[in-house]
Amino acid sequence: MAITNSDLTTVSLNGEGTFDVLMSAVKLHLKGEYDSGRIKGTEYSSVYLGSLTQVLGQSVQFLLEKEKRSLELELLELEKELAQANIEKVREEINLAKKQLELLILQLPKMEAETLLLQRQAASQLLQDELIKAQTCKTQAEFDVIVEQKSKTAAETGFINQKKVTEIAQINSAGVDAASIVGRQSALYGAQASGFERNAEEKVAKLLIDTWNVRRTTDEGVSANSTNRLDDDSVGRAVTKLMEGIDA
């Protein structure tokens, strides 16, 4: 319950609010002190005001604490109700679990029979798979034999064709792979023939150059020119051609 103004005071000297009741008691005590002479007239007002402030603060604190206690009690009551509801829920869940267990026990023989049937079906399927696998292996083996025979025939045919090409290459190098033995032999023979020709050319050139050197030695008027091709341009072209010939 929320605190109202009437809980604090009913705005009456003889009110029933907390502040009213406490102030009535304070007034009685102050009157007794005043009548006995322990509080003088000049002190009475200050004591009264101090008591008024303290009583008002205590009254408010008392009501707030009272409201707090009330709310805590309501919270405890709600928690109690919630706990009770949870207990009931757990009981219902336990009862449901028991019923499900009883149903499962009743269904157990049926489940065992179905499991046995599935096991037998699996064994039968496994046997069929093994039979199919054996038949497949047999068919694959027969196929492998056929493929091997076909490969053997193809290899023999290829060997005969290659031998035919080799025999033809002995008299005609047209169409022969340059990387093959016959192709390399043919290239070697060609290189040897080219070498013989270049060697002959070098010997002739050396002979002619030697005669020019002799004439140059005996006659300083003899010069290297474009006619005898002993000038620098001609010599340079010859050296370039020579370097190209040896892939340098």
Q: Is residue 55 part of a domain?
A: yes
Parent domain of 43: 5-94
Residue type, 70: S
Q: Tell me if 74 is assigned to some domain.
A: yes
pLDDT digit string, tens, across residues 225-247: 777 777 767 767 777 777 776 66
pLDDT at 19: 78
State which of 94, 115, 132 marks the end of a domain: 94
Predicted confidence (pLDDT) per residue in 134-177, tens digit: 888 888 888 888 888 888 888 887 777 767 666 665 565 555 56
Looking at 94, 127, 155, the residue that finishes a domain is: 94
Q: Select from 196, 158, 181, 194 the least CA-distant residue to 173.
A: 181
Domain for residue 160, yes or no? no
The answer to whether the beta carbons of residues 69 and 3 sit under 8 Å apart is no
pLDDT at 94: 92
| pLDDT at residue 174, as a whole number | 55
Does 32 reside within a domain?
yes
Q: Name the domain boundary from 94, 114, 138.
A: 94
Q: What is the C-alpha separation between 160 and 171, in angstroms, rounded?
A: 18
Those residues with Cβ within 8 angstroms of residue 170's Cβ, 6 or more apart along the chain or in another chain: 182
Cα–Cα dist 200/207, whole Å: 11
pLDDT value for 168: 64
Say what the pLDDT of residue 63 is: 81
Based on the structure, what is the number of domains in the chain?
2
Q: CB neighbours of 173 closer than 8 A, spacing ≥ 6? A: 182, 183, 186
Tokens 């620098």 sit on residue: 232
Q: DSSP letter for 221, please.
A: T
- Predicted confidence at residue 167, as pLDDT, reads 63
133 inside domain:
no
Regions of the chain short of the pLDDT cut 50: none
Q: How far apart are the first and last CA of the chain?
A: 113
Query: 174 and 187 in contact (C-beta within 8 Å)?
Result: no
